Structure 1
Amino acid sequence: MARITKGILGGFSGKVGTIVGANWRGKDIIRSVPTPNNRPPSEKQMLQQMKFKLVIGFLRPLGFIQKKYFGVNSGSKSRINLAVSYTISEAVQMVADTPELIYNKVLITKGDLTGFQNVVAAPQAGNKIKLTWEDNSVQGNAKGTDKVTVICYSKELDSFAIFEAVADRSALTTEVTLPAYYATKDMQVWAYLNALDESIVCNSSYLGTLKLI
Structure 2
Amino acid sequence: MATFKDGANGSFNGKVGSVVGYQWRGINVMRSLPKKSKKPRSEKQLANERRMKLAMSFLSPITTVIRLGYQQATEGLPMTPFNMALSYHKKQAIGGSYPELYFDYSKAKISIGPLASAESLAAEWTGDGLSFSWDGSSDNLLMKEQNTIIVLHLEATKGWDIRTSGIQRGAGHYLFPLPSNLIGKEIHAYVAFNEILSDRMSDSRYIHVPAVG
**Same fold judged by TM-score > 0.5?**
yes
CA offsets, 1:159-195, max 9 Å, x none? 1111222421111211111234424421111111111
d(CA) in 1 for partners of 2:78, 2:203: 23
Which stretch of structure 1 is more off in the superposition, 103-112 or 28-37? 28-37
Using the size of structure 2 for normalisation, the TM-score is 0.88
CA deviations on 1:4-28 (whole Å, 9 max, x unpaired) are: 1344443112233333222222211
- Take 2:43 and 2:161, find their aligned partners in 1: how far apart are those partners? 35
Q: Select 1:125's aligned residue among 111, 124, 127.
A: 127
Length, aligned pairs only: 211
Choose from 80, 83, 89 the match for 1:81.
83
1:198 CA displacement: 4.2
Partner Cα distance (2:32, 2:169) in 1:
52
Question: Is the CA contact (8 Å cut-off) linking 1:135 and 1:172 kept in structure 2?
Answer: yes
Structure 2 unaligned residues grouped into runs of 5+: none
- The answer to whether residue 84 in structure 2 is matched with residue 100 in structure 1 is no
Q: Provide the C-alpha distance between the structure 2 equivalents of 1:183 and 1:116, rounded to a whole number of angstroms.
A: 24
Take 1:99 and 1:131, find their aligned partners in 2: how far apart are those partners?
31
Which residue number in structure 2 is paired with residue 61 of structure 1? Answer: 61
Give the % identical residues: 23
Distance 1:55 1:181, change over 3 A: farther
Q: Which moved more, 1:64-73 or 1:38-47?
A: 64-73
Q: 1:115 touches 1:203 (CA, 8 Å); kept in 2?
A: yes
List per-residue Cα deviations over 1:59-105 (Å, max 9, x = no partner): 11121011122122453321111111111111110168322121211
Q: Given the two structures, how large is their TM-score scaled by the length of structure 1? A: 0.88
Q: Which has the higher strand share?
A: 1
Counterpart residue number, 1:177: 177
CA deviations 1:119-154 (Å, max 9, x no partner) are 21111123x111122234336x96111111211112
What SS class does the counterpart of residue 175 from structure 2 fall into? Answer: strand
1:107: Cα distance to partner?
0.6
Sort the Cα spacing of 1:132 and 1:20 in 2 relative to 1 into closer, same or farther, 3 A.
closer
Cα distance, 1:4–1:95 mapped onto 2, change above 3 Å: closer
Distance 1:116 1:38, change over 3 A: same
Match of 1:10 in 2: 10
**Structure 1 residues without counterparts, runs of 5 or longer:** none
Residue aligning to 1:161:
161
Structure 1 residues 15 and 167: CA distance shift in structure 2, 3 A:
closer
Q: Which amino acid aligns with 1:138?
A: D
Root-mean-square deviation over aligned CA pairs: 2.3
Counterpart of 1:163 in structure 2: which amino acid?
A: R
